[in-house]
Amino acid sequence: MKAALLLLLKAAVTALLLGLLFREHSKALLAPLEGLLANPGWTLAGLAAAGGALLFAALRWQAVLRGQGLDLPLAELGRLILIAAFFNTTSLGVVGGDAWRVLALLRRPGTQRLPVVVSVLLDHVVGLVSLALIFLTCAWWVRERLARLDPVALAAVQGFAVFMLGTLAVIALTVAASAPAVHRRLAGRLAGGLFQRPALQKFIEACDALRRAWRQSLIALGHSLLLFACHFGLFYCGLRAVGGDAPLAEFLAAMPVIDAAAGLPVSVSGLGVRETTFEILVGGLTGLAAPLAIAASLAGWLFTVAWGLLGGLCFVGGRRDS
C-alpha cells in the first residue's frame, strides 16, 4: 500500500512539473521525437553512448566484485545491469535497480550476502568519487561563467560543490578508518565496544577492499569516469539532435548537478526535475533557449528508456526461462 501511494505521489509530481514546463514551452513537447527522427546520426550516437554507459557500469561493478573475491562473467553482470536499468527507468514497485542486482546475485549457488551487498555499496562510492572529480574539474575550468549565474542557480552549484568536497573527505576518512590497524584501535576506544561486534567487523573488513584491492579500485574508477562520459554524452547527443549546441566544458559542469537532482526520489525516472534543472543550469551557463534545453533533456532520457525497455524484455524472458 505504501509503495503504491509513493508511486502515485511521484507520478503526481512528475505530471505537475511537466505540465508547468509544457504550458510555457509547448513546442518542446514534440521536439525530442522530431529531432531524433530528423537527425539519425546524433540519435544513433546517443543510443551508443547510453549502451556504453551500461557497459562501463558492468565493468565497474565487475572490478568492485573482484575486490570482494568474486570474479563473475561480464556477460552475466551486463545482463543484470541492463535489467537494473529497466527498474531504474520505470521506478516500478519497491524493487529498484540496486535491490535487483543484490537479489539476482544471491540466487547464485554458494553466493554470500555480505560481499554482494558491499559490492553494490562500494560501486556507488566509486561512482561518487568519479562524479566529484568530473564536476570539480569542469566547475573550476568554467568558474568565471559560473559566477555569472543567477543567485538561485549559483547557490545550487555552490551547494553541490560543498557536498562533493564533503563526500570526498568522508570517503577518504572511511577508507582510512577501515584499515585493520586503525579500526582495531578504534574498537577499543569508541562506542563501548560497538566496533568489536563480529557482524560489524566483517562489514568493515569487506569495505576495506577499496584500500586492500587498490588496483581493482583504480580500474573501477577508470571505468566509472568513462561511464559518466558516456552518460553525459548521451544528453549532449540529445541536445545536438534537437538542434541545440553548447560548449562542452560548461555542459559537463552542469550535468552532475542535473543528474543528482534527477536522482532524487520525488518523480518517476527524474522526469520534470531533470528538465527543470536542465533549463536552469545548461540554459544559464550556455545561453541555450528554454524549449531547446527541455527538448534536449527529454531526448537524452529517451535514449535511456530505449535500453531500459530492452532490459525489461530480458527480465520478462528470464522469468519465463526460470
pLDDT, tens digit, for every residue of 281-309? 998 898 888 888 888 999 999 999 999 99
Instruction: Supply the pLDDT for residue 229.
Output: 96
For residues 150-177, average pLDDT? 92
The CA R_g of the chain, rounded to the nearest whole Å, is 21
Query: Residues near 62 by Cβ (< 8 Å), separated by ≥ 6?
Result: 72, 74, 77
Residues 6 or more apart from 48 whose CB is under 8 A from it? none
Query: Looking at this protein, which amino acid is placed at residue 280?
Result: I
Q: Within a domain: residue 21?
A: no
Check residues 22 and 318 and name the one with the higher pLDDT: 318
pLDDT for 89 equals 81
What was the pLDDT predicted at 141? 93
Q: Does some domain include residue 301?
A: yes
20 falls within a domain: no
Q: Is residue 3 part of a domain?
A: no
Number of domains observed in the structure of the chain: 1
pTM of the predicted model as reported, rounded to 2 decimal places: 0.89
Dihedral angle computed from the Cα positions of residues 277, 281, 286 and 289, in that order, rounded to the nearest 10 degrees: 40
User: Taking each helix axis from N to C terminus, what angle separates 40-67 and 290-321, rounded to the nearest 10 degrees?
Assistant: 50
Q: Is residue 11 part of a domain?
A: no
Query: Which residue range is the domain that position 290 belongs to?
Result: 32-321
Q: Cell 541545440 sits at which residue? A: 244
Average of per-residue pLDDT values in the chain? 85
